[in-house]
Amino acid sequence: MTHPICIGITGASGAVYAVRLLEVLRASGRDVHLSISPSGRDVIRQEIGVTVDLDDFRLESLVAAGDARGKIEYFHWQDFLAPMASGSFLTDGMVICPCSGTTLSAVAAGAAGNLIQRAAEVHLKERRKLVLVPRETPLSLAHIDNMRRVTEAGAVVLPASPGWYHGVRDVSDLVGFVVARTCDQLGVEQHLIKRWGEKR
């Protein structure tokens, strides 16, 4: 039996990674509980030209139906009554993609100010998989220290740093690399990239 995977989209550059991750999870038949911060909404609009209404969310505004076997349920970023805010609600992990420096800091400090940060705290305290996908460069000492702290607490820091060894033809291959590595962390089967040593 599988449980939902929680996805938080925050205000770092790299909204395209989040959208592709949602598409892959749906296509694989995984249910998703989604929350988007106001800054995450702003980055989505700036980077991919999609307007998302956080108060009246329409999934089709963000993700095309495609081969969708899994369902996506949206929760407002201020809704602390959402299932993902409680450890008694079972999940198969959480990804914050992209993960802003502010969100990273809040998770490292255990100082939740919104649903995404609270859900991350829950995943740490319940010893469940938490994957943070920062997209920042260069890194300050504070970023590095916060990454160390969340790693010591049990999270996986998976920077949006695509590899080039899998036969890159265009930008979608680079996006696919990061999404593939994220899915690997969640134990979700994917065929987005050619693995090292794998022949095709």
- Ordered by where they begin, the domains of the chain are 5-186 (3.40.50.1950)
Quote the pTM value: 0.95
Q: What is the pLDDT along the chain (200 residues), one digit of tens a residue?
A: 899 999 999 999 999 999 999 999 999 999 999 999 999 999 999 999 999 999 999 988 898 766 678 999 999 999 999 999 999 999 999 999 999 999 999 999 999 999 999 999 999 999 999 999 999 999 999 999 999 999 999 999 999 999 888 788 999 999 999 999 999 999 999 988 887 777 75
13 sits in which H/E element: none
- Residue 97, H or E segment: strand 94-99
Find residue 32's DSSP bridge partners.
Answer: 5, 72
If you write DSSP's letter for every residue of 30-47 in order, what string do you get? --EEEEE-HHHHHHHHHH
**Tally of residues, the chain:** 200
Give the DSSP per-residue string, 26-91.
Answer: HHTT--EEEEE-HHHHHHHHHHH-----SSS--GGGTS--SS--S-EEE--TT-TTSGGGSTTS--
> CA–CA separation, 62 vs 7, rounded Å?
14
Q: How far, in Å, CA of 15 to CA of 28, rounded?
A: 20
